[in-house]
Amino acid sequence: METDDLSLPIFEAGSVWLVGAGPGDPGLLTLHAVNGLQQADAVVYDALVASAILDLARPDCERIFAGKRGGKPSPVQADISQRLVRLAKAGKRVLRLKGGDPFVFGRGGEEALALVAAGVPFRVIPGISAGIGGLAYAGIPVTHRDTNSAVTFVTGHGVGGAVPDGLDWAALAKGSPVVVLYMALKHIAAIAGALLQHGRPAEEPVAVVSQATLPEQVILETTLARCAEDIAAAGIEPPCIVVVGEVVRLRAGLDWQGLAAGRVLDPDPLGPSRRRETG
């Protein structure tokens, strides 16, 4: 790719770029990410980064697998941060490549703070988060004028790996018409149960998008009451985004990948009864 005319930054030796790789489809990388990959001496990457994306690094670039998956204990995290510091202090151009956006449930903030503590210069390159871009590939917008003016992003894993107890599920159920859940598969029954218990309707639509934006992408549409059972029955595998809310109905009109495969789309997927008066 010819990126010379864009005045993209030079990757200085001894610095770290904290880069979001997006949800999987290499086309969703930013130009800053590609520019960084073309210059990096070392790439430290996570489990969710596709090999086609790593292939954009220079052939002589050192590729280091950080191998962290959500919910693992923090000593591993400290090791990764220290590794970034060591590589940078050795004068390398270090690209830390994370799935989605580095600052969305990605511990990018922790790694950046370790760099600050060690006096290592860094740059942050945002990426498309799975909870937004992954849902867009499934034809589900996270906001829509007729359904919601707010959306909440929630992790299904707390610090200790359990459903986040610190969350006020009553407030969430009442105040957030759309809830987008990351890392929620393991605890989906408890999460759906909490939302139901605090007043969300049993028939509220839920979509599960597995391997979003990748060729292996699988989408399951279900309801809050049935989702845990349906996910198990369908054998859905992580990584997955789960979205709860009326926006899921828009998929009947906006499933653009389905359109390409011959699906007939409904231009009025919410129907007159569900459309808010606009004007």
Q: Name 241's bridge partners.
A: 182, 209
Contact region for ligand SAH (CB under 6 A) — 77-85, 138-146, 204-212, 220-228?
204-212
Active site residue 72: no
| Residue 206 binds ligand SAH, judged by CB under 6 A | no
Q: Does 211 bind ligand SAH (CB under 6 A)?
A: yes
67 binds ligand SAH (CB under 6 A): no
Binding of residue 87 to ligand SAH (CB under 6 A): no
CA torsion 172→178→183→184, rounded to 10°? 70
Q: Which is nearer to ligand SAH, 97 or 114 (CB)?
A: 97
Identify residues 32-61 at the interface with ligand SAH (CB under 6 A).
48
Helices 108-118 and 74-89 pack at an angle, to 10 degrees, of 50
174 is catalytic: no
Q: How far apart are CA 44 and CA 92, in angstroms?
A: 12
Binder of ligand SAH out of 29, 49, 101, 255 (CB under 6 A):
101
Q: Mark whether 92 is an active-site residue.
A: no
Query: Rounded CA gap, 197 and 224, in Å?
Result: 11
Return the structure tokens found at 227. Answer: 């989702």
Binding mask 102-121 for ligand SAH (x = CB under 6 A): --xxx---------------
- Strands, E assignment, 105-217: 122-125, 151-155, 178-182, 205-210
Minimum distance of ligand SAH from residue 50's CB (angstroms):
9
271: alpha, beta or left? (left if phi > 0; alpha if psi -120 to 50): left
- 144: helix, strand or coil: strand
Q: For ligand SAH, which residue has the nearest CB? A: 100
Mark the segment that binds ligand SAH (CB under 6 A) among 85-93, 126-134, 140-148, 269-277. 126-134
Please tell me the distance from the alpha carbon of residue 257 to that of residue 197, in angstroms, as a whole number: 35
The stretches of the chain forming alpha helices (DSSP H) are 31-39, 51-54, 74-89, 108-118, 135-137, 169-175, 188-197, 227-234, 251-254, 256-260, 271-274
Using rule CB under 6 A, residue 231 touches ligand SAH: no
Report the alpha-carbon distance of residue 47 to residue 239 in Å, rounded.
Answer: 10
Per annotation, catalytic residue among 25, 98, 101, 183? 183
Q: Is 24 in the site for ligand SAH (CB under 6 A)?
A: yes
CB of 168 to ligand SAH, least distance (A): 21
Among 151, 178, 183, 252, indicate the residue that binds ligand SAH (CB under 6 A). Answer: 183
Q: Catalytic residue positions?
A: 46, 68, 183
Instruction: Return residues touching ligand SAH (CB under 6 A).
Output: 23-24, 48, 70, 98-101, 104-106, 129-130, 134, 182-183, 209, 211-214, 238-241
